[in-house]
Amino acid sequence: MTVQKSVRIGNASGFYGDRFAAVREMLEGGELDFLTGDYLAELTMLILGKDRLKDPKAGYAKTFLRQMEDCLGLAVDKGVKIVTNAGGLNPHGLAVALRELADRTGIDAGIAFVDGDDLLGRAADLGLGKPLTANAYLGAFGIKSALDAGADVVVTGRITDASLTVGPAAAVFDWDYDDLDALAGAVVAGHVIECGAQATGGNYAFFTELPLRESRAAGHIGFPIAEIAADGSSVITKHDGTGGAVTVGTVTAQLLYEVSGPRYLGPDVTTRLDSITLGQEGPDRVSISGVRGEAPPETTKVSLNHLGGVRNEITMILTGLDIEAKAELFRAQFLAALPALPQQINWELSRLDRADAQTEEQASALLRCVARDSDAGKVGRAFSSTAVELALASYPGFSMTAPPGNGSPFGVFEPGYVDAALVEHRVAFPDGVVERIDPSPLRTRVEPDVSDPQSVTATTDFGPTELQPLGRIAGARSGDKGGSANIGVWVRDPQHYAWLEETLDAELLAELLPEVHGLTIHRHRLPNLLAVNFVIEGVLGRGVADNVRFDPQAKGMGEWLRSRPVPIPRSFL
C-alpha cells in the first residue's frame, strides 16, 4: 500500500447491539480510508459460545452480516476497507457468508479472515481446563498481512480491540514489530475509538456541557474517527454535522475506560499510558502525541468462559411502613417453603422508599432474591412459583415485579495466559492462501505496575474546604475487567489534580463506596491525563455473566463515586 501523510480510520460499532445504522452513516458522512467495527466483549464471547452449542455454523455477529447486505457495495464504491472482529468464534463462517453475499450481489470484494485465536481444542493441554470458549487475544499483524494482500474486508476472531485500528495503520505505513512508539500511538488511538460514541460525548461525566439536545443532529451522536500519522501520532475527530463533541475531556474519559496501570499490555507492544499528551487542536479535533511503546509481554491473554449453571430471580415490592420487618418475614417464609434449597442464594434489599411519599412508587422498596445452582430443577419455575404461593399469606401489600419464570443458564469468565509462541495466529487471504503470523520477536518479561500506597499523606494546604460532591470538579469513567472493576477519575485543572492526587487514595475510596470495603484496591497515577485510576479486585465476583450485583458491569460505579461528598477547597468551586 502507498505510504501517505495520514490515514482516516473510523469506527461504527462499540459492542454487539450498537446502532445498526452507524455503518451507513459513517460511509456516507465523509471521507474514510478504513471503517472498523468492534462487536466482542467478554459477555459476547459467552453468548456466541451458547449459539455455537446450538449450531456449529453459528458463532459470529449476525448483525454485521446484515449491515454488509446493506452497505458492502457502498464501501467498495467509496474505496473504504472494512476491518471487524465480528467473526467472533467463527471468522471462517462469516467470511464464507460474506463471499456468498458478494457473489450473489455482484460485488467485487476480496474477503480475508484472521483466526487461530480459538484454543478450545487445546485448552486442557495448555492448562486452561475445560471451558466453553477459549480465545487468545491476537495482535494487528494478521490484519496488516490481509490488507497488504489487497483484502477489501478483513474479519477476525478474538483480537485486542485496538488491533482493529493498529492493523490498518501498520499496513498503510508498513510498520514492523520494532516500530514500538508508532504501534503504541496507534494502540492509544484504537483504544479511544473502539467503543464508538463514548469518545464523542456518550456516557460522559460532564454531558450537561455538551450540545447533546439542541437539535436532532446534536442528539444523534456521531461515531469517532482517528487520523493517524506515520509516527503513530493521531487526531481524534468525527464527521462534520454529526452530534456530540470531541474534546480533551471526552478523549480522556475513554482513555481511562477499562485500563489498569501505566503499562497497557498488548500482543504487539506495551503502551505507556503515562506518556500520552492530549491537545485541543480545534472544534471536535483532539491530538494525541508523545506516546511511547515498550516490548510486549511473553504471554498472550486468553478469554475463558465456562458454563456456571442456572440462575433465577424474583423481586418483591415492599410498600409503606415496617419495610425491614416485611423483608424478614418474606425471607423466612420463602426459604421454609422452597422444595429444595439452591447452592447459592443472595438477597438484596434496596431502600428506594421515602417517608410521607407523594406516590406509591416513592413509598416502596425492592427485595431481590437471586438463586444459582448446577441443577436446573432447583432454580426453575418451581423456585419463582414458591413466591407466588405466598401471595395471600405473607406481608401486607404483597406484590412482585414479574410473574414466575424459568431459570436461565449463566456463565463464568476468567482470564488465562499462554506463551505467545503457542498461539497459531493465521490469516486466510482472499485467494485462499493461508499464512501463519509469528508473534513479536521482541517479547520479554514485563514487570507488573506497582500501585500507590493505600493511604497517601497530604502535604499541601489548599485553603478552606466545603463538603460537596466529588463530581463538582472531577469526572469519572468506570467499567468491568473480568471480576474486577476500574474507576478512572480525572480533573481539568492542574491545580485540582494536585489536590486529587493527595486526597483520593484507596482508603478514602473504600469509605466513599462501602460496597468495596475490604477488597483489594490498586491506585495508579496518570499525571499527564490529570487522572488517577483505581482497580478494585473481585467486586464483580466471577464476571458480568455470573455476578448478581445491581450494576453487574460497574458502568455506574464512577457516577456513584462522583455523587459522594468530599471536602473540596472553596477556591476550586
Any idea what the CATH number is for the domain that residue 338 is in? 3.30.70.2750
Q: Supply the pLDDT for residue 1.
A: 45
State pLDDT tens for residues 404-413. 999 988 888 8
Q: Both 399 and 473 in a single domain? A: no
Within a domain: 478? yes
Residue 438 belongs to some domain of the structure = no
Residues whose CB is less than 8 angstroms from the CB of residue 416 and which lie 6 or more positions away in sequence, other chains included: 126, 127, 128, 134, 301, 302, 303, 304
> Are 405 and 485 contained in the same domain?
no
pLDDT tens-digit profile of 263-278?
999 999 999 999 999 9
Report how far residue 233's alpha carbon sits from residue 214's, in angstroms, rounded to the nearest whole number.
33
**Residue at a domain's end among 412, 432, 454:** 412
User: Is the CA virtual torsion 48, 307, 344, 520 positive or negative?
Assistant: negative
pLDDT tens for 181-231 read: 999 999 999 999 999 999 999 999 999 999 876 555 556 899 999 999 999
Same domain, 560 and 469: yes
Closest CA to 304 of 116, 121, 115, 128: 128
Are both 566 and 485 inside the same structural domain?
A: yes
Residue 244 pLDDT > 80: yes
Is residue 451 over pLDDT 80?
yes
Are 502 and 532 a contacting pair, CB within 8 Å? Answer: no
Strand, coil or helix: 484: strand
Task: In whole angstroms, give the CA distance from residue 9 to residue 26.
Answer: 10
Distance CA 206, CA 283 (A): 17
In a domain, residue 93? The reply is no
What the block records as the C-alpha cell of 147 is: 490488507
How is residue 527 annotated by DSSP? G
CA 147 to centroid of chain Cα atoms: 26
Name the DSSP class of 295.
P
Structural domain range at position 341: 304-412
Angle at 307 between CA 301 and CA 308, to 5 degrees: 105
Instruction: Decide which of 412, 444, 475 is a domain's last residue.
Output: 412
| Residue at grid coordinates 412482585 | 400
Between CA 114 and CA 437 the distance in angstroms is 10
Query: In 123-203, which ranges are E strands?
Result: 133-136, 153-156
**Measured between alpha carbons, how far is 488 from 479 in angstroms, rounded to an integer?**
9
Whether residue 384 is contained in a domain is answered as: yes
Cα dihedral 387, 393, 398, 399 sign: positive
Segment 156-165 shows an average pLDDT of 98
Which letter, b or e, does each residue of 353-385 get, where b requires 16 or more Cβ atoms within 10 Å of its Cβ? beeeeeeeeebbbbbbbbbbbeebebbbebbbe
Among 320, 379, 381, 377, smallest CA distance to 351 is for 320
Predicted local confidence at residue 96, as pLDDT: 97
pLDDT of residue 219: 64
Query: Which value, in Å, is the radius of gyration of the alpha carbons in the chain?
Result: 25
- Residue 309: count of CB within 10 angstroms of its CB: 21
- How do residues 293-303 score in pLDDT, each as one tens digit? 999 999 999 99
One domain for residues 470 and 405? no
C-alpha distances out from residue 5 to 182, 292, 345, 371, 423, Å: 14, 20, 59, 57, 34
What amino acid is encoded at 104 in this protein?
Answer: R
Residue 447 burial by Cβ neighbours in a 10 Å radius (0-12, 13-18, 19+): exposed
- Span 135-160, average pLDDT: 98
In a domain, 406, yes or no: yes
Q: Is 50 in contact with 24 (CB distance < 8 Å)? A: no
Q: How far is CA 227 from CA 115, 134, 168, 239, 366, in A?
A: 27, 34, 12, 12, 49
- State whether 397 and 474 are in the same domain: no
Same domain, 401 and 496: no
Residue 106, judged by CB atoms within 10 A of its CB (0-12, 13-18, 19+), counts as exposed
Does the residue 34 lie in any domain?
A: no
Task: Give dist(CA 166, CA 80) in Å, integer.
Answer: 16
Residue spans of alpha helices (H) in 282-405: 323-337, 381-388
Structure confidence by residue, pLDDT tens digits, 276-292: 999 999 999 999 999 99
Q: What is the pLDDT of residue 218?
A: 59
**In whole angstroms, what is the distance from residue 479 CA to residue 116 CA?**
28
Total of domains in the chain: 2
Which of 412, 433, 450 terminates a domain? The answer is: 412
Residue 210, in any domain of the structure? no
- pTM of the shown model: 0.94
pLDDT tens, 524-573?
999 999 999 999 999 998 776 677 788 889 999 999 999 999 999 999 99
CA distance 557 to 563: 10
Residues in the chain, overall count: 573
What percentage of the chain's residues is helix, strand, coil (to nearest 5)?
Answer: 30, 30, 40
On whether residue 420 sits in a domain, the answer given is no
For 54, 56, 169, 189, 552, the CA distances from 195, given in Å and listed in that order, are 29, 29, 18, 11, 18
Residue carrying the nine cell digits 511511547 = 292
Higher-confidence residue of 318 and 413: namely 318
Q: Residues 400, 314: one domain?
A: yes
